[in-house]
């Protein structure tokens, strides 16, 4: 039996990637094993020597892996970009986030703010500084390693809580105790661009899958999941 294709992928692209992989499995009969993690965790796992065929991560992480010679040169596929969304517990009042000033007011008024320790969380740290509200919100921020923990916290939470995450995963989990309020206002929106890259020792089957990720059929699925074309 041929060896399975191993993918290390950022969780933000899971809603679209899972469907694309399902189609690829059906059409090719190849076995694909996907491990989802945060971008920092992916970088650490690869640096520690974990074996993989394809890495899917923010463009910056892919560039770092190329510098470390962990991925094959010139074997990449762009998946698209994903913005930051705002969510609340199902049934909770929807905060006004239509403008930057409205968002600032909502954040200051909230009982707590919940977000991850990955790319979304890093951007929010800088955003709070830019908005001049770091001191006002720092004692009510709760951070988790990944979106799954953020989702669980908000779904089981109480009071006025505002949470953040990639728009793709918020949309995918709507109805599981949370709802999407909307994306960040355009003036302060942050997009993360995701790309796939082959490891230096990737199998021919992995190369076929990488090419499949860039097909029109795959592109249509990614777009439907909220992964915008760059």
**Total residue length of the chain:** 230
The residues, ordered by sequence, that sit 6+ positions from 230 with a Cβ below 8 Å of its Cβ are 78, 80, 81, 193
Fold (topology level) of 5-81+194-224:
D-Maltodextrin-Binding Protein; domain 2 (3.40.190)
Two structure tokens written together for 35? 């491990």
pTM of the model: 0.85
The residues, ordered by sequence, that sit 6+ positions from 222 with a Cβ below 8 Å of its Cβ are 13, 16, 17, 20, 79, 80
Cα–Cα dist 134/121, whole Å: 13
Predicted local confidence at residue 1, as pLDDT: 67
Cα–Cα dist 154/88, whole Å: 7
74-112 pLDDT, tens digit each? 789 999 999 999 999 999 999 999 999 999 999 999 999
Residue 218 scores a pLDDT above 90: yes
Tell me where in the chain the CATH 3.40.190.10 domain(s) lie.
5-81+194-224, 84-188
122-154 pLDDT, tens digit each? 999 999 999 999 999 999 999 999 999 999 999
43-66 pLDDT, tens digit each? 999 999 999 999 999 999 999 999
Find the mean pLDDT for residues 165-179: 94
Cα dist from 143 to 11, 36, 69, 136, 146, whole Å: 16, 19, 32, 16, 9
Fold (topology level) of 84-188:
D-Maltodextrin-Binding Protein; domain 2 (3.40.190)
Phi and psi angles of residue 150, each rounded to the nearest 5 degrees, phi first: -65, -45
Name the average pLDDT for the chain.
94
């Amino acid at each position: 039996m041929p060896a399975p294709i191993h993918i290390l992928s950022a969780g933000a692209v899971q809603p679209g990637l899972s469907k694309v992989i399902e189609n690829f499995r059906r059409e090719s009969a190849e076995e694909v094993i996907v491990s989802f993690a945060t971008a920092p965790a992916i970088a650490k796992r690869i640096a520690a020597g974990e074996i993989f065929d394809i890495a899917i991560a923010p463009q910056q992480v892919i560039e770092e892996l190329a510098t470390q010679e962990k991925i094959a040169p010139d074997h990449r596929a762009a998946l698209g970009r994903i913005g930051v969304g705002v969510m609340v517990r199902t049934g909770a009042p929807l905060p006004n986030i239509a403008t930057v000033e409205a968002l600032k007011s909502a954040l200051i008024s909230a009982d707590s703010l919940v977000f991850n320790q990955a790319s979304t969380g890093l951007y929010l740290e800088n955003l709070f500084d830019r908005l001049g509200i770091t001191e006002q919100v720092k004692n009510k921020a709760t951070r988790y390693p990944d979106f799954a923990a953020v989702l669980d916290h908000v779904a089981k939470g109480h009071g006025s809580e505002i949470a953040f995450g990639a728009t793709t995963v918020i949309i995918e989990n709507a109805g599981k105790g949370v709802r999407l309020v909307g994306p960040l206002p355009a003036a302060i929106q942050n997009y993360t661009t995701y790309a796939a890259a082959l490891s230096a020792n990737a199998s021919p089957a992995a190369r076929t899958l990488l090419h499949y990720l860039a097909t029109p059929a795959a592109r249509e699925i990614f777009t439907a999941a909220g992964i915008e074309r760059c």
